[in-house]
């Protein structure tokens, strides 16, 4: 089945839709059981790990990563498919409601191992390292510490708890800590403001071959960092639009950037960390951007097209066949077909995740 998150918010969809694959019939519009504590709002990335489904509840008021128990087999329309939600990582707020740690408005989730996870956070504009225990149900930030790279680079620096990748601007609205700014040349992430508040900042994250890949939305690049100590390894070529979502398939990185979809062969190690991105031949519906994509194996890709940003303005989801001569050649997308037609959604799709029927 295909899982879909949406822009969400007070007038949006704050749960996951599940569709049968390959047919596209709606299985349920409430795939997630509501948490006992906390709330589902502005859901972003979804990722399977530790036999669980991890979901980012991105709204500032929530800012929590929930872990869900998946269905044992098949699909069912009686009740939520994913149950027993546990808040595995959330924000720490000061008395004034300002964020005190790196977890704030989370967007992307990527696991390096069963016990090590990286979460991108829009409002602090950092990527946090969260360590998991208890079968993946207990997430902790390293209190008072950051990556070894940042500690060495700025021995007297100040960083939010758990910071693995830092921001070019450390003094941000609604953040209680005035963190040390890290220049772009040393791997700091770009940020733009609107009336003093964060508008554009870090987006999705992905992991490959000992490398953490991070969308720097304002600078229109994908940055590369070592998983061993957080060292900045360089960046991709500049893109024509701001990158927001990442996906890995068949030795390549796919990058959603506005109305364009890019691809590049994955670097094989931190010692040869380079990333050359090329634009794929894909024409979204007029005015639509591309959200977070997902693959059914390596042969079919599900692509959400975003019409507007929430508030009853939706989009659609299409499938494409993926053909590639080998892992070093540019993929060809063909046979585009509507999976969920335009006009179906009352909100904007953000991420999709292919979940094999019968998996657990």
- Whether the per-residue pLDDT at 312 is higher than 80: the answer is no
User: Looking at the domain assignment, is residue 38 inside a domain?
Assistant: yes
Closest CA to 213 of 194, 193, 227: 227
Q: Could you report the per-residue pLDDT of 243-254, keeping only the tens digit for each? A: 999 999 999 999
What percent of the chain has pLDDT above 90? 84
Summarize the confidence of residues 256-275 as an average pLDDT.
Answer: 92
pLDDT in the model for residue 72 = 79
- Whether the per-residue pLDDT at 233 is higher than 60: the answer is yes
- Whether the per-residue pLDDT at 322 is higher than 90: the answer is yes
Please give the tally of structural domains in the chain.
Answer: 1
Q: Could you report the per-residue pLDDT of 153-197, keeping only the tens digit for each? A: 999 999 999 999 999 999 999 999 999 999 999 999 999 999 999
- Whether the per-residue pLDDT at 76 is higher than 60: the answer is no
What's the CATH code of the domain at 23?
A: 2.120.10.30
The model's pTM = 0.96
What pairing do the DSSP bridges indicate for beta strands 278-279 and 260-265? Answer: antiparallel
CA gap 96, 176 in Å, rounded: 9
CA gap 113, 136 in Å, rounded: 11
CA gap 258, 241 in Å, rounded: 6
Summarize the confidence of residues 251-273 as an average pLDDT.
Answer: 93
User: Looking at the domain assignment, is residue 350 inside a domain?
Assistant: yes
User: Looking at the domain assignment, is residue 359 inside a domain?
Assistant: no
User: Looking at the domain assignment, is residue 131 inside a domain?
Assistant: yes
User: Looking at the domain assignment, is residue 360 inside a domain?
Assistant: no
User: Looking at the domain assignment, is residue 110 inside a domain?
Assistant: yes
User: How many residues are recorded in the chain?
Assistant: 360
pLDDT in the model for residue 268 = 86
User: Looking at the domain assignment, is residue 329 inside a domain?
Assistant: yes
Q: Give CA separation, 324 vs 209, 318, 334, in Å.
A: 21, 19, 11
- Whether the per-residue pLDDT at 225 is higher than 90: the answer is yes
User: Looking at the domain assignment, is residue 294 inside a domain?
Assistant: yes
Closest CA to 258 of 237, 275, 239: 239
Q: Could you report the per-residue pLDDT of 323-360, keeping only the tens digit for each? A: 998 888 999 999 999 999 999 999 999 999 999 875 44
Domain containing 166 equals 2-354
Residue 25: burial class (beta carbons within 10 Å; 0-12, 13-18, 19+): exposed
What percent of the chain has pLDDT above 70? 97
CA gap 272, 274 in Å, rounded: 6
Running DSSP on this structure, what letter comes out for residue 9?
S
């Amino acid at each position: 089945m295909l899982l879909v998150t949406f822009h969400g918010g007070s007038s949006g969809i704050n749960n996951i839709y599940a569709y049968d694959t390959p047919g596209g019939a709606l299985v349920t519009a409430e795939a997630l059981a509501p948490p006992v504590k906390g709330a589902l709002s502005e859901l972003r990335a979804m990722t399977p790990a530790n036999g669980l489904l991890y979901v980012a509840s991105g709204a500032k008021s929530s800012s929590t990563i929930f872990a869900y128990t998946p269905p044992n087999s098949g699909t069912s329309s009686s009740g939520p498919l994913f149950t027993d939600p546990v808040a595995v990582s959330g924000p720490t707020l000061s008395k004034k409601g300002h964020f005190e740690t790196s977890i704030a408005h989370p967007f992307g989730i990527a696991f390096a191992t069963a016990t090590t996870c990286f979460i991108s956070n829009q409002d602090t504009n950092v990527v946090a390292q969260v360590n998991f225990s208890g079968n993946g149900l207990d997430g902790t930030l390293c209190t008072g510490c950051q990556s070894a790279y940042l500690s060495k680079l700025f021995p007297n620096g100040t960083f939010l708890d758990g910071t693995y990748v830092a921001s070019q601007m450390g003094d941000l609205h609604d953040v209680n800590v005035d963190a040390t700014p890290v220049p772009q040349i040393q791997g700091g992430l770009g940020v733009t403001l609107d009336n003093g508040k964060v508008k554009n900042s870090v987006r999705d994250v992905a992991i490959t071959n000992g490398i953490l890949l991070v969308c720097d939305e304002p600078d229109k690049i994908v940055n590369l960092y070592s998983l061993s100590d957080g060292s900045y390894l360089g960046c991709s070529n500049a893109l024509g639009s701001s990158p927001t979502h990442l996906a890995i398939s068949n030795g390549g990185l796919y990058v959603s950037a506005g109305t364009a979809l890019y691809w590049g062969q994955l670097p094989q190690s931190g010692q040869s960390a380079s990333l050359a991105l090329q634009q794929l031949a894909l024409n979204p519906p007029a005015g639509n951007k591309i959200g977070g994509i997902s693959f059914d194996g390596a042969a079919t890709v599900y692509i959400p097209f975003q019409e507007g940003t929430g508030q009853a303005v939706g989009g659609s989801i299409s499938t494409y066949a993926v053909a590639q001569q080998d892992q070093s050649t540019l993929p060809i997308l063909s046979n585009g077909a509507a999976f969920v037609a335009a006009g179906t959604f009352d909100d904007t799709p953000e991420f999709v995740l292919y979940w094999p029927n019968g998996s657990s």
